[in-house]
Structure 1
Amino acid sequence: MVDLFLNRVLVENNWDQDELNTEREITGILENRILMLFFASAECEKCQDFVPVLNDFFKRLKDPAYIEYPKLLALIHISLDQSEEQQGRFLKQLHKKVLFLAFEDLYRKELQTMFKVKDVPTVVVLRPDSSILSPNAVQDICRFGSDCFCNWQESSELIERSFMLNEEIENLNLRSVTDPVRRLKYKTEDDKRKNRWWKLWGKDKTENEEEKENSGAWDKNKKQGDKGTWRTR
Structure 2
Amino acid sequence: MAALFAGRLLVANRERDEVETERELGRALDNKVLLLYFGSARCPRCRRFAPLLRDFFLRLTDQRHVERASQLGLVYVSRDETEEQQSAFLRTMPRRWLAVPFGDAFKRELELRFAVSEVPAVVVLKPSGEVITGNAVEEIQRLGPACFRSWQEAAELVDRNFLLAEDFDNWTRRSITDPIRRLKYKLDKKKNKERKEEGEESS
Normalised-by-shorter TM-score class: 0.7 to 0.9
Q: Which residue of 1 aligns with 2:143?
A: 144
SS in 2 for 1:36: strand
Q: Which residue of 1 aligns with 2:9?
A: 9
Q: Which residue of 2 aligns with 1:81?
A: 80
- Aligned-CA RMSD value: 2.2
Residues 19-28 or 121-130, more deviating: 19-28
Distance 1:119 1:24, change over 3 A: same
Q: Which residue of 2 aligns with 1:159?
A: 158
TM-score (norm 1): 0.69
SS in 2 for 1:120: coil
Q: Which residue of 2 aligns with 1:113?
A: 112
Amino acid of the structure 2 residue aligned with 1:178:
A
* Greater C-alpha radius of gyration: 1
Distance 1:91 1:76 in 2: 11
Q: Which residue of 2 aligns with 1:35?
A: 34
> Relative to total residues, which structure has the larger helix share, 1 or 2?
1
Q: Which residue of 1 aligns with 2:175?
A: none
**Following TM superposition, where does structure 1 have runs of at least 4 consecutive aligned residues deviating by more than 2 angstroms?**
177-185
Runs of 5+ unmatched residues, structure 1 = 166-176, 192-233
The 5 A counterparts of 1:162-177 are: 162=161, 164=162
Amino acid of the structure 2 residue aligned with 1:160:
D
Q: Which residue of 1 aligns with 2:131?
A: 132
| Deviation digits for residues 144-203 of structure 1 (CA, Å, limit 9, x no counterpart) | 1111110001111113142x37xxxxxxxxxxx736877967x87xx8xxxxxxxxxxxx
Q: Which residue of 2 aligns with 1:70?
A: 69
| Deviation digits for residues 82-140 of structure 1 (CA, Å, limit 9, x no counterpart) | 22122122222221211001103111111111111111000000011111100000011
TM-score (norm 2): 0.79
Runs of 5+ unmatched residues, structure 2 = 171-181, 190-203
Distance 1:61 1:8 in 2: 27
Conserved in 2, the CA contact under 8 Å of 1:39 and 1:78? yes
